[in-house]
A = this chain, B = another copy of it.
Amino acid sequence: MQSWVDGRPAGSLSLKDRGLAYGDGLFETIAVRGGRPGLLDRHLARLAEGARRLSFDLDLDLVREELLAFSAQLDEGVAKLMVTRGDGLRGYALPGTPPRRILMGSPYPAYPEGHAEQGIELFPCLTRLAEQPLLAGLKHLNRLEQVLARAEWQDARFAEGLMRDVSGRVIEGVFSNLFIVRAGVLLTADLGRSGVAGVMRAELLDQAAVQGIVTQVRDIGYEELLTADEVFLCNSLYGVWPVRRFAGHDWSVGPLTRKLQALARDLLDS
């Protein structure tokens, strides 16, 4: 598959890149259908927020332009965009060079049909998310916690894993955000201390509110998850997966989950 660095075809990168040295960068994983990047404004908004908080002097118009051109060439698949702080000298001090833009194409992942239809079983990860408000919410390149969590299970029966923070709060999946439904209210974790604020999560929160569904973004305790009426995961590639089983608890696929799944499908197909 094709890949670009700073707008030109390339398959490799300088060893001096600070994305490699320190994980000093951000990324977005974008569904491309019919030559168009999905949820483009949401992805760019999160990238802009990350650039602001990490002090990247990023030309967002240029990023948008390249992403559109790259998606047109890719046609169907996943565009992974990485933005790094470019080459560094030795040491942590900011080099003052412009950020580097990396685009990589890959085929659309072949998720089993059953994940969306019947729902999935969630693995209880022991790896806890550290609390770091300065990085929370961002999709940055420091992802060792996710690597450790994903390495906890090999059994294909688990499609995703649940991650809690060091204080035990329920946060998200390894590569998904988590929603629960309690008494008709749609809840997802506050990501002010840890976690990745997914673009599909943001989109579903907005769309649900438009549909008159009451939404809450707040801390979620473990017991609240276990006693929820409905549980589901989302991301910008697969949309919504109902959670059918976790830690000996079983759920059927609920009506709000199906409603939001249909909304997500519309968003990804549009």
Contact = CB atoms under 8 A, between A and B. Distances in A.
Given A13-B15, A93-B151, A142-B143, 13 more contacts: A12-B15, A13-B14, A13-B20, A15-B104, A19-B20, A20-B20, A22-B143, A22-B144, A78-B90, A85-B147, A92-B149, A92-B175, A142-B142
A106 B89 CA distance: 9
A144 B23 contact: yes
Interface in A18-46: 18-24, 27, 29
A140 B147 CA distance: 13
B94 A166 contact: no
A27 B15 CA distance: 13
Contact of A13 (B13, B109, B127, B145): B13
A21 B141 contact: yes
Interface residues of A, number: 57
A144 B15 contact: no
19 contacts: A3-B15, A13-B13, A16-B104, A21-B82, A22-B142, A22-B146, A22-B147, A23-B23, A23-B143, A54-B147, A90-B106, A92-B143, A92-B147, A93-B151, A131-B166, A132-B145, A134-B148, A135-B144, A142-B142
A264 interface: no
Given A23-B144, A132-B130, A14 B15 contact: no
A260 interface: no
A53 to B, nearest CB: 9
A150 interface: yes
A45 B78 CA distance: 40
A174 interface: yes
Contacts of A130: 130-132
A55 interface: yes
A156 to B, nearest CB: 11
A6 to B, nearest CB: 12
B11 A15 contact: yes
B127 A134 contact: yes
A80 interface: yes
Contacts of A14: 11-13
A10 interface: yes
A85 B144 CA distance: 11
Contact of A142 (B82, B109, B144): B144
Contact of A15 (B5, B85, B149): B5
A164 B144 CA distance: 21
Name the residue in A106, A131, A142, A175 with the highest tally of chain B Cβ atoms < 10 Å from its Cβ: A142
